[in-house]
């Protein structure tokens, strides 16, 4: 079978390596000889390692699209609108497509799935979420007997590395970010990572699968970690709480609650122990109970592992009449996420007893967290709207507020 590889960067190179290193096993699993026949690159004059002997290397997508002998396309080049149009054109020809492109898929997966199903093609995208962790397959196939009610995950290795350095080593945010850049975990412009945009794409794709609803990415509120202060991490630790940036969603009574935000977890929660660049996804189903997928969220070979796994599955099921999963209804997104405890740090411009009196007047039940100077509380379970009310109260200056999740 002939494969067109669109993109030969970090992941594309990893795909070539995995196919080469594991050629005999892959052939045994598929019963096919798989050949990369075409490669789309930005610079055709760049010197490259072996592994692509005989492949047409081009910077012209037209040369690839006009070749009707291609069976499968692997897309690891990025981009959104232009890439979507390219993949849609291949699907219209009945060519199977494998993509690692979370940014494009989070916006256009439903359109592409519809096109794929109309043309008996497969659209596979395991590598688009959490790198080498098989969470897409896990939710779509291994947990498909469950009614899933909650998905919560550490979906970005850059932010998890930064928060781990702050939590474990006591570094401030700027020092941890600089270290992440030096080690290659963060881009020169880390905005998509640290502001939660990357995780937003991933929780959209996971929630779509978990609950069988289309999810409009514009309905997903996002809060990143650039404003996190080491002070709050240290105070929360006194309550045995650990701060993580989570993509989280919950589906109850037909309503979806979904967000990306820094959240405090009990320090013995499974996700609280996931540190540095690792990713993990926590899933709650009515049959399996609680399950967690853990592993590398990025990397050349790690992500390529997921891409080639999709490739093997595509080849093994190429003659199947099975359709790609397609939700038939949009998600009704609710305002808020039910009742939760909150950690709140209030600037003590007034006497502590005055602040306590204000909170009592607001009927906000709380307990004090012992600190040297700051007025820090842990609330009783409340609606998220109460936090908004508190922030709008002129008598209270809220310096930080984090939801507490995972409490039994």
Helix (H) or strand (E) holding 368: strand 366-368
Q: Give, in degrees to the nearest 5, the angle at Cα 334 between 328 and 336.
A: 145
Q: Which of 165, 202, 248, 278 is catalytic?
A: 202
Instruction: Please list the helix, strand and coil fractions of the chain in percent, rounded to the nearest 5, in that order.
Output: 40, 25, 35
Nearest Cα residue to 234 out of 226, 225, 243: 243
Measured distance CA(293)–CA(152) in Å, rounded = 11
CB 110 within 8 A of CB 327: yes
Nearest Cα residue to 81 out of 62, 108, 100: 108
Q: Where are the beta strands (DSSP E) in 107-240?
A: 123-124, 148-154
- From residue 217, how far is each of 141, 248, 312 by CA, in Å? 24, 13, 30
- The pairing of strands 123-124 and 148-154 is unpaired
Beta carbons within 8 Å of 232's beta carbon, 6+ residues apart: 243, 343, 345, 400, 402
Q: Which CB contacts under 8 angstroms, 24+ apart, belong to 20-28?
A: 20/51, 22/308, 26/308, 26/311, 26/312
- From residue 179, how far is each of 159, 164, 187, 338 by CA, in Å? 12, 12, 11, 37
Q: Is 202 assigned a catalytic role? A: yes
Burial level of 88, CB count in 10 A (0-12/13-18/19+)? Answer: middle
Measured distance CA(229)–CA(173) in Å, rounded = 7
- From residue 264, how far is each of 231, 344, 403 by CA, in Å? 14, 11, 6
Q: Render the burial of 131-160: b for 16+ CB within 10 Å, e for the rest.
A: bbbbbbbbbeeebeebebebbbbbbbbbbb
Measured distance CA(394)–CA(100) in Å, rounded = 47
CB 355 within 8 A of CB 346: yes
Catalytic residues: 202
């Amino acid at each position: 079978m002939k494969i067109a590889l669109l993109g030969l960067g970090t992941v594309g190179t990893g795909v070539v390596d995995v196919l080469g290193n594991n050629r005999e096993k892959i052939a045994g699993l598929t019963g096919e000889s798989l050949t990369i026949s075409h490669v789309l690159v930005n610079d055709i004059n760049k010197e490259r390692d072996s592994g692509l002997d005989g492949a047409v290397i081009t910077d012209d997508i037209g040369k690839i699209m006009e070749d009707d002998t291609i069976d499968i396309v692997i897309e690891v080049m990025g981009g959104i609108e232009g890439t979507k149009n390219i993949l849609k054109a291949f699907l219209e020809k009945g060519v199977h497509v494998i993509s690692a492109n979370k940014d494009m898929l989070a916006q256009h997966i439903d359109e592409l799935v519809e096109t794929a199903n109309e043309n008996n093609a497969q659209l596979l995208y395991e590598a688009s979420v959490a790198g080498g962790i098989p969470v897409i397959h896990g939710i779509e196939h291994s947990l498909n007997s469950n009614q899933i009610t909650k998905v919560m995950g550490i979906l970005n290795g850059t932010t998890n590395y930064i928060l781990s350095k702050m939590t474990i080593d006591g570094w401030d945010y700027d020092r941890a970010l600089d270290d992440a850049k030096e080690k290659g975990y963060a881009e020169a412009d880390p905005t998509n990572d640290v502001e939660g945009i990357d995780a937003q794409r991933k929780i959209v794709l996971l929630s779509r699968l978990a609950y069988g609803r289309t999810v409009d990415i514009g309905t997903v509120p996002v809060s990143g970690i650039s404003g996190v202060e080491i002070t709050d991490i240290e105070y929360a630790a006194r309550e045995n709480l650990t701060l993580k940036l989570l993509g989280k969603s919950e589906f109850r009574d037909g309503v979806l609650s979904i967000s990306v935000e820094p959240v405090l977890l009990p320090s013995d929660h499974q996700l609280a122990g996931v540190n540095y660049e690792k990713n993990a996804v926590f899933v709650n189903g009515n049959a399996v109970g609680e399950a967690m997928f853990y592993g590398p969220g990025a990397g050349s070979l790690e992500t390529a592992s997921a891409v080639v796994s999709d490739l093997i599955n595509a080849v093994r099921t190429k003659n199947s009449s099975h359709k790609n999963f397609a939700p038939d209804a949009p998600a009704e997104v609710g305002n808020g996420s039910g009742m939760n405890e909150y950690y709140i740090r209030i600037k003590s411009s007034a006497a502590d007893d005055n602040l306590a009196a204000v909170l009592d007047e607001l009927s906000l039940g709380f307990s004090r967290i012992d600190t040297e100077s700051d007025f820090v509380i842990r609330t009783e379970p409340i609606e998220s709207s109460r936090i908004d009310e508190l922030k709008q109260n002129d008598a209270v200056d809220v310096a930080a507020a984090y939801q507490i999740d995972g409490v039994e």
